[in-house]
Amino acid sequence: MTEKSKKYISDVLMAIHLIREFTIDIADFNIYDKDKKTQSAVERQLVIIGEALNKLRQVESEIVIENDKQIIGFRNRLVHAYDSIDNSIVWAIINRHLENLKIEIENIED
């Protein structure tokens, strides 16, 4: 694995870690939905995850990451269709999908 690939993997893991830190004290969606600062911080890290996975696919085409196309597509929505982002979708990503992505990325590292 190239140094660039390792950096992209590290970027994804750091972004996941930061999202967890940003949301650790947020108990439910209603709190998240009212917290614009946390929304902004989380969305920025989701953009980083999507961009890093896109770059990783370009340099390591043999690495398979489940749902990478959807993650990259969501990154594009965050960047280009920012005014139509549904906070409930972001909240679902945080609570249902990030941990699986983290495990998958950590397995690539090994």
Question: Which position among 44, 80, 96, 97 bears the catalytic label?
Answer: 80
Which residue's structure tokens are 């969606």?
29
- By CB atoms closer than 10 A (0-12, 13-18, 19+), residue 35 is middle
- 75 belongs to the catalytic site: yes
Question: Which position among 75, 77, 96, 97 bears the catalytic label?
Answer: 75
**Rounded distance between C-alpha atoms, residue 15 and residue 13, angstroms:** 5
Cβ contact 63:56 at 8 Å: yes
**Rounded distance between C-alpha atoms, residue 64 and residue 41, angstroms:** 27
User: Could you give the residue numbers annotated as active site?
Assistant: 75, 80
